[in-house]
Amino acid sequence: GNSVTQMEGPVTLSEEAFLTINCTYTATGYPSLFWYVQYPGEGLQLLLKATKADDKGSNKGFEATYRKETTSFHLEKGSVQVSDSAVYFCALSSPRRGGTSYGKLTFGQGTILTVHP
């Protein structure tokens, strides 16, 4: 079955530091890959996505590249801010249309990021 493994947290950084959160996956075929962010007490917001190999998703200074050869989708940001403190989830979507698992998301366990001033 599909699975997503995220870098264990929590991750604590100073403002303007470089961020990497590792994400690797196991899936058949070519899944779509997503990063979601969850702020305290809220639901998940889509941060970025990539739908095929070598695609780079980007949003709000965050980037992630779909690497099929290493089955990875690592999240990066060059300079984090205090407002980036949140929980980050990597997820994949089953690619097979018509199957019972179509459209379902498989999530990693989440990585807590805390950014200090």
- Residues contributing to the site for another protein (CB under 8 A): 4, 32, 34, 36, 41-46, 49, 51, 89, 93, 97, 100, 102-105, 107-110
In the complex, least distance from residue 65 CB atom to another protein, rounded to whole angstroms = 16
Nearer to another protein, 7 or 105 (CB): 105
Nearer to another protein, 18 or 68 (CB): 68
Per-residue exposure over 55-75, b if at least 16 CB sit within 10 Å of its own CB, e if not: bebeeeebbbbbbeeebbbbb
Residues with Cβ < 8 Å from 100, sequence gap 6 or more?
none
